[in-house]
Structure 1
Amino acid sequence: MRESLAEAAGNPFDVTRADRLDDGLQHLAPGAVDVVLLDLSLPDSRGLDTVGKVIERAPWVPIVVLTGLDDKDLAVEAVRRGAQDYLVKGQADGELLARAARYAIERKEIESKLAEANARLEQANRRLEELATTDELTGLWNRRHFIEMIQQECRRAARSGADLALVMLDLDHFKVVNDTYGHAFGDRVLAATASIIRGAARTTDVVARYGGEEFMMLMPETASDEAVHPAERIRILIAREPVSDGTHAVGITASLGISALKDGSPNDPDHLIRRADEALYAAKQAGRNCTKVWSEACAVAAAE
């Protein structure tokens, strides 16, 4: 092989020969070789598994497989396993070997660039998906994704008969905070609130910024009375921790409404959201900074 390549016109390659796979693998340090001409009939490794061993050791190196078998299926399988080209030893002169080596290097470079481009594209797609489903300010799910999740959870609850609770939270007098201290401070309040809710939520809960100063926490397999404790914990934490920007420290409170799917009630998102909103309205009417669980009285008060 060395002699054949030496006879090729314009041959740019210096050939290092290894008669055993283990010996050849020792040469495959990064930057040490440009291409591997790989015999599939080595004393210590035979067949296509040899290709895999080289790729495992040096995935960056292009491979031209050499075999004495004129087998197209073997050629296809060698390329499928990661080789860049395939030659039959008895039919490969120096010119063909050199050309195959050059083309293998070019193809490997193209494959690497394509892999990098695909990785960047996947990263961009993940970022686009993140932007489409999360609220930029708080990092919580946005309204659009929340609607998808509540629809999904309502269907699941309908199939399994499981409980499903919804906590709706609204910051009290948030417009006053914005008007008094500015929108940048208001954003700080929203981010702090989101952090508190996220910290109190279970891994199975769906937490979202529903819009403005309104947040949602969807709690699968949870009855309304079971949702009261985590809701109250969130309310107390918000009231306990003033929000500060280094210049101002402002106490914030929140009102919360809780609804749940129950036997005989419609298993649909609109129903669940409407009842949580009615319970939230009752909390506001009760003086704010409190939590209310939906009841028929909430519906009557909201309708008045």
Structure 2
Amino acid sequence: MTERSLASHTHELNRLQRLRILLVEDDEGDAFLVRELLSEADAPFELTVASTLREAQQQLAGIECVLLDLGLPDAEGIDGLRKLLAVADNAAVCVLTGRSDEHLGVQAVAEGAQDYLVKGQVDGVLLTRALRYAVERKRADEAGRRLREVELRQAESARLERGLLPKPLMQTDQVTVETFYRSGRALGLLGGDFFDVVQIGEDRLHVIVGDVCGHGVDEAALGVELRVAWRALVLAGVPEEQVLSALEQVLMSERRAREVFATVAAVTIDLPGNRATVRLAGHPPPVLLAGGHAAPVRARTGIVLGVRPTPTPATELEFTGHDWSLLMYTDGLIEGHTGVGEERLDVDGLCKLLDEPAARRVPLPDLPPWLVARADQDNGGPLTDDVAMLLISRGSGR
């Protein structure tokens, strides 16, 4: 490397490493001294000076490190530091103390400052090094904080998953149940979709799929409450026609706002009779796969839970033969685009996917993830909403 290119490289490195510093100091002499110390160390910096805390709060944009005097006209001691930290965002903070109040520097670090410096006891090199270390320490602290947040979210998601996505409570071998859930949110956090399967006695299988409007943790927690309440109601032997009304009462008492509602598809399967009762509260209908064809269940649909308490109508479904599958799902599966203009997949598009020869070759346990993969492909990318599915099959399932 030539002398000229070395100089150019050094200049570029200094430019990239240039620190943007905000000095909050009301004493012009001390402010001049700080500037001289930085210049003496030949430190690449952009120094902005504010004489009050109010002025400093207006100049924080783009600042990497704040050098704060603890004695200001509008903020004294630790109180001033606390006010600055509240608005400093990602900027590192170093405090300046006098020799007689060095103990304040220790307290400042305990309050959240990255470091403290005693006036008159630093030279240019030490000052520059302290500021750079403070910036790196702040970045490390922020990285650690984000890591902890991710870990907390993952732990929270795991707890919610146990509540939203339980293992089917069933003993029969007359039918099989495949479950599927995929979050549509960042970091894999669950939304308000839920499902459950409970067998009562030897002949009745109760199944539910639901979706609480919204995609936050509050909606997921409410989904857990509704799922647990539904299982308790079913196990307690509450008459089928009263279960969703009772579930709606739970929703209305536990929701965080009046506008929160839930859609539900509930099915009770009479195993010996080979028939089912379907109740839809604003939810997409199940899809029946039988005789080599997929078709939506033509069931009456009631209004969503949580708007106006109204009994959910029941529709009787007679299965033909003992080879069938019933696919229950949340609307996240059918709201993606098909690749044709703004057209959505919807229920008819889902049935067309299931009727494709490729779908018929997919083993039943793999059918839910296959459907999502195909929906992602047609959508031009991952579906944005949560997707929950239950596939209940008897015999060969098709």
Smaller-chain TM-score bracket: 0.5 to 0.7
Q: Which amino acid aligns with 2:91?
A: V
For residue 23 of structure 1, give the secondary structure of its aligned residue in structure 2: helix
Question: Deviation of residue 21 (structure 1)?
Answer: 1.3
> Which of 28, 46, 69 is matched with 2:60 structurally?
28
Match of 1:282 in 2: none
Q: Aligned partners of 1:45 and 1:184: how far apart in 2?
A: 60
Q: 1:233 aligns with which of 242, 249, 252?
A: 242
Amino acid at match of 2:53: L
**How far did residue 140 of structure 1 move?**
4.5
Alpha-carbon spacing, 1:84–1:183, altered in 2? closer, same or farther (3 Å):
closer
- 1:96 deviates by 1.9
User: Corresponding residue for 1:17?
Assistant: 49
Offset, 1:55: 1.5
Name the SS of the counterpart of 1:74 in structure 2.
helix
Change over 3 Å in CA distance of 1:52–1:245 after alignment to 2: farther
Percent of pairs with identical residues = 33
Cα-to-partner distance string for 1:53-94 (whole Å, 9 max, x where unaligned): 211122210011001144453222201211100011121222
Between the aligned partners of 1:44 and 1:235, the Cα distance in structure 2 is 61
Write out aligned runs for 1:27-106 (5 A). Answer: 27-29=59-61, 32-106=62-136
- Residue 108 of structure 1: aligned partner: 138
CA distance in 2, matches of 1:170, 1:234: 19
2:231 corresponds in structure 1 to 216
Corresponding residue number in structure 2 for 1:119? 149
Could you tell me which residue of structure 2 aligns to residue 195 of structure 1? Answer: 209
Q: What does 1:140-179 align with in structure 2 at a 5 Å threshold?
A: 140-142=165-167, 176=174, 178=176
**Secondary structure, counterpart of 2:132 in structure 1:** helix
> 2:233·2:243 contact (CA, 8 Å) conserved in 1?
no
Question: Which of the pair is proportionally richer in strand?
Answer: 2
- The corresponding residue for 1:6 is 39
Q: Which amino acid aligns with 1:233?
A: Q
Give the ranges of 4+ consecutive aligned residues of structure 1 lying more than 4 Å apart after TM superposition: 140-143, 174-178, 182-185, 188-192, 202-209
Distance 1:142 1:89, change over 3 A: farther
The structure-2 alpha-carbon separation of the partners of 1:197 and 1:208, relative to structure 1 and needing over 3 Å to count, comes to: farther
Task: Please point out which of 241, 244, 250 is paired with 2:287.
Answer: 244
TM-superposed deviation, 1:175:
5.0
CA distance in 1, matches of 2:59, 2:178: 62
Partner amino acid for 2:38? L
Q: Would you tell me which structure has more helix in proportion to its own residues?
A: 1
In structure 1, the partner of 2:304 is none
Listed one character per residue, the Cα deviations across residues 171-198 of structure 1 (whole Å, up to 9, x for unaligned) are 9xx75555xxx9589xx99599223799
Partners of 2:140 and 2:68 lie apart in 1 by: 21
CA distance 1:206–1:23, shift in 2 (3 Å): closer
Shift in CA distance, 95/244, structure 1 to aligned 2, threshold 3 Å = same
Amino acid across the alignment from 1:12: P
Amino acid at match of 1:27: Q
For normalisation by structure 1, the TM-score amounts to 0.53
Q: 1:46 to 1:197 in 2, by over 3 A?
A: closer
The separation in 2 between residues aligned to 1:42 and 1:16, in whole angstroms, is 16
Query: What amino acid maps onto 1:244 in structure 2?
Result: V
Alpha-carbon spacing, 1:243–1:16, altered in 2? closer, same or farther (3 Å): closer
2:69 is aligned with what amino acid?
Answer: D
> How many aligned positions are there?
200
Q: Is the 8 A contact 1:142 1:208 kept in 2?
A: no
Equivalent residues of 2:68, 2:95 under 8 A apart: yes
Gaps of 5+ in 2: 1-33, 181-194, 199-205, 213-221, 246-265, 268-276, 280-284, 298-316, 320-398
Aligned residue number for residue 275 of structure 1: none
- 2:104 aligned partner, one-letter code: L
Alpha carbon RMSD of aligned pairs, Å? 4.3
Partner of 2:27: none
CA distance in 2, matches of 1:93, 1:68: 15
- Stretches of structure 1 lacking an aligned partner (at least 5 in a row): 144-168, 210-214, 254-304
Question: Distance in 2 between the 1:53 and 1:176 partners?
Answer: 67
Match of 1:129 in 2: 159
Give the secondary-structure state (helix, strand or coil) at the position aligned to 1:228: coil
